[in-house]
Chain A
Amino acid sequence: MRWWIFIPVMALVLSLDAALMPAFAIGGHVPQLWPLLLAFVSLYASRSAAIWAAMILGFWLDAMHPALGVGIDAPRAVVVFGPHVLACAAGAWCVLETRAWLYRRNVLTVAFSTFNCALLASLAFIAIAGIRGAYADPFPLWGGGSGGAAVGSDMVDALYSAVIAILPAWGLQSTLTVWGFATAGPRFAGGNRMNRGND
């Protein structure tokens, strides 16, 4: 995978998620594009590249979502690095495990993987936040309410993200050759593919 393409695209996707996507909110559920990018990369990149991409993406997501701690005058916004990193790695792993039996060159497959990725990342995040809540955090990292409610809400978010992802997924699929993925690009013989596996 070409990292000099992934990083700017990731920056664009995170900017869109932070600033533009709330415009498409329905009933408090905001679609996100980062699961699409992660699912797309995980569908085509080598395993190690996909996990690295997930970790980098998760690092930025952690930076963008501060947790609330106890402050002196007001609750304190504290950036906690780590939970999103692991959550994104879990989401990428889910797509990596399922991609073998998926027909990848299809926009609906990318949308389906987006749902899987977002859902597993959410479950992993809430599990981590639940463990942290037992000893470290005064407020759960997922916000207010119970963990079960957070899972339900994130499930709807994941579904909505997958629906919204169909159009941008088509755009990403059309740029497939640019990314230099190990398992995509023009059809080639198995021997050639093996030589490109180490990206």
Chain B
Amino acid sequence: MPFVSSRRILVIALAGAALLSALPQSSQSPWSGTLAAILWAPLVPGASALAWVRDRIRAPSEPYQGLPEDLRSAREDRDQLQGELDARQLRIEELERELRDISGFRPADRAGWQPRRATVVERGGGRPAGLLGIDIGTNQGVGEGDPVVVGGKQIIGEIASGGAENRSWVIPLDDRRCGRIDAIVTPQASGKGGNAARQSMLVQLVPQGNRTLVGELESLAGVNPGDSVLLGDAGWRPAAQGMRIGVVESVGKLDANPLRGRITVRMESDPARVSRVVVKVRVTGEGQPQGQGARGAGAAK
């Protein structure tokens, strides 16, 4: 069956593709997302079925795998509560600082959120690597910047803008394009001292891919491998604050400046191997004032 045999049309099509390739994103963004959703739509049922097969072939690395369902659910609930507790503790510390200063008034954090369970239906194995496609979108209230967690408290990324009604893209936390992330290292509660002896330390992490993030510290005193690392970045949504990024994998000195320390943080969940995630969707009406918790210029910090 002849398709388009004219050489001239082929050359014109190639020239058109070259022109499209040269156009900036702003020229394509008004229509390209809709067209991509239309092109992807026929593949969704097959891809969903194949994703199920993929999970049978290679089990996703979910927390507490292998435990009975009720025990796993109980532990996830516990982790979720722990995550909320961590977030509240950070908030209390912040309020205490503010009370000490009494330098100004800041509206209370009233941002509400609701969990929305989603299935990972697509992984960007090609380019750009690492973006995850999930099966919920703006119809379910998902919006850009919403944090994505697994196991109740382990944050794995955030929603990128540009999703569709029933499809969204997740930028994993270890993706270099996520930009710098402010985090808090909380030493492990050791023995009797418990929380009283805990002294958290601020660190700015740079994603390195492959589940790792690295950060520089003025001093390594009090930081040990195994310490928890929590997200504490004002640029992220309040629902993401205090969520657990991972644990300190290694501690060392900077080659370039041995007086400064370098820590490597390993995410507890591998974004490339999760199959189900929870999006902390912002609830309208109770939301924070416009502008709070927003990243001014995207990831370019």
Contact = CB atoms under 8 A, between A and B. Distances in A.
Partners in one complex: yes
Most buried by A among B20, B43, B125: B125
Given A77-B163, A78-B32, A52 B4 contact: yes
Nearest to B163: A77
B29 A59 contact: no
A141 B14 contact: no
Nearest to B129: A143
Main secondary structure of the interface of B (DSSP, over half): mixed
B279 interface: no
Interface string A56-82: 001111111111111111111111111
Contact of A67 (B39, B128, B129, B133): B128
Nearest to A137: B25
Contact of A55 (B5, B13, B39, B133): B13
Nearest to A140: B128
B7 interface: yes
A180 B39 CA distance: 26
Contact of B28 (A17, A61, A79): A79
B71 interface: no
A25 B122 CA distance: 14
Contacts of B47: 15, 18-19
B162 A71 contact: yes
Q: Interface size class for chain A?
A: 35 or more
A28 interface: yes
Interface string B119-141: 00111111111110100000000
B272 A3 contact: no
Contacts of A82: 17-23
A52 B3 contact: yes
A24 B162 CA distance: 29
Given A15-B47, A67-B25, 13 more contacts: A1-B1, A2-B1, A18-B122, A20-B50, A22-B58, A68-B131, A70-B300, A73-B295, A74-B171, A75-B171, A82-B17, A82-B20, A180-B1
10 contacts: A19-B54, A21-B125, A52-B3, A66-B36, A72-B294, A80-B28, A80-B32, A82-B17, A136-B22, A138-B300
